[in-house]
Amino acid sequence: MERFDIAIIGTGPAGLEAAITAKVRNKTVLLLGNKGSSDKVSKAHTIQNYLGLPNVSGEDMSKAFLAHATSMGIEITEDKVNAVYSMGKYFAIQCHSGDYEASSVIVAAGMTTMKPFPGEMEFLGRGVSYCATCDAALYKGKTAIIIAYSAADEEEAEFLAERAQKVYYLPQYEYAGNLGGNIEVTCDVKPDSIAYTEGRAYLATDKDTYTADGIFILREQIAPSQLVPGLQMDGNHIGVDRSMATNIKGLFACGDITGAPYQYIKAAGEGNVAALSAVSYLNELKKATE
Amino acid sequence: MVKKINQDEFKTIDKSGVSVLDFNATWCGPCKMLAPVLEEVSEDFAGKANFYSIDTDDNPDLAREYGIMNIPAIVVLKDGEKVDMNVGFVPKEALSDFVSKNL
């Protein structure tokens, strides 16, 4: 497998600037994200304080960013990142359509608005899980609740239902699937909180309280600490120092995901710093292995 | 070294001192990623702790005995008694810390 020098997650101003700086420093880059940059940029009405682009519309700004990146030969790989694993000397990046390897990683995935349910973090790994396919075998003859956020989760529910005795499926999206058998689908139920006592998980909702052996939460957005297991957070943001380094060696973060102010130029600036720090890290890594 | 064992073999192993059990499954992505990391950690703790890998699919009774509901799960035993558990992938440094604080 090709091992990239730097994998960058996110194609907003932070991710794109990081990719440009990495390219200037002659590093191989895997840029994962959206070919249209970021919705947060393209949907902005007017931006007045971006140096060199006065009173620019979000759409034009996004075009300018992408044109800059393209002119430098930077390609965007459209794939959804499920997890980044720190393997010691390299990182394994698990995506929806395949796996990648990189010596260093820059997380520029933007601010997630996701809030865990009360009880979720407390019982994570002890009855609450984010991966139905991982834990399916442990549910032989047992019951499970799935809180689902996209139609793609229906496949995970079916996989789990092959082993589990019963699956309660609570879609939080416009459900138009045809799950059946031992999967009980209930729409329009809003989860409130999670509790776990004496081997039983309880999900309180705006309607009934559901109980089962375990609860699976299949969100589209993954909290950074779930995206990168072992990552230290600072509240809702990734904890970084001035060099944009995180607590995991070789892994950097930049942009909104590191905290306020949520400004485009701040994000781009941090992207630049993160890339330069990744380059220094790569040099150290090279020296250590020589 | 991490030794792959089944639940019958588990009954017969010498559990004196510290044993580290890795509960996993072949199709579980994070488990696969954790395996080489645990292998490295086991080398660093050679002579201080014994490391075992257990496939939960083949050994459901043992998984049940230790209350494993999510994998990968790392269980630490002291003289056969469960003293600590960590669920999910962890980077090498954190895994080393987790093992050493239980020595």
What are the boundaries of each domain within chain B? 2-96
How far is it, in rounded angstroms, from Cα A29 to Cα A23? 7
Q: Which residue in this structure is represented by tokens 């941090």? A: A270
Active site residues of B: 28, 31
Query: Percentage of chain B with pLDDT > 70?
Result: 100
Per-residue pLDDT band at B7 (split at 50, 70, 90)? very high
How far is it, in rounded angstroms, from Cα B101 to Cα B103? 6
- Which residues 3-62 of B are in CB contact (within 8 Å) with A? 25, 27-31, 33, 36-37, 40, 56-57, 60
ipTM of the complex: 0.81
pLDDT at A131: 82
pLDDT at B27: 81
Cβ neighbors of B88 (< 8 A, separation 6 or more) are A124, A125, A229, B30, B70, B72
How long, in residues, is chain A? 290
How far is it, in rounded angstroms, from Cα A97 to Cα A76? 15
Query: Which domains occur in chain A, in start order?
Result: 3-113+222-289 (3.50.50.60), 120-218 (3.50.50.60)
pLDDT at A127: 87
Separation in Å, CA of B59 to nearest CA in chain A? 10
Does pLDDT of B14 surpass 90?
Answer: yes
User: Which residues does chain A have with pLDDT short of 70?
Assistant: none
pLDDT at B54: 97
Q: List, for residues B22-67, the tens digit of each pLDDT value.
A: 999 988 888 999 999 999 999 999 999 999 999 998 999 999 999 8
pLDDT at A114: 73
Q: Do B63 and A138 touch (CB under 8 A)?
A: yes
Taking the mean position of all CA atoms in its chain, how far away is CA A124? 17
Separation in Å, CA of A18 to nearest CA in chain B? 24
* CATH code reported for the domain at B2-96: 3.40.30.10
Identify the bridge partners of residue A147 per DSSP, sorted by sequence position: A170, A217
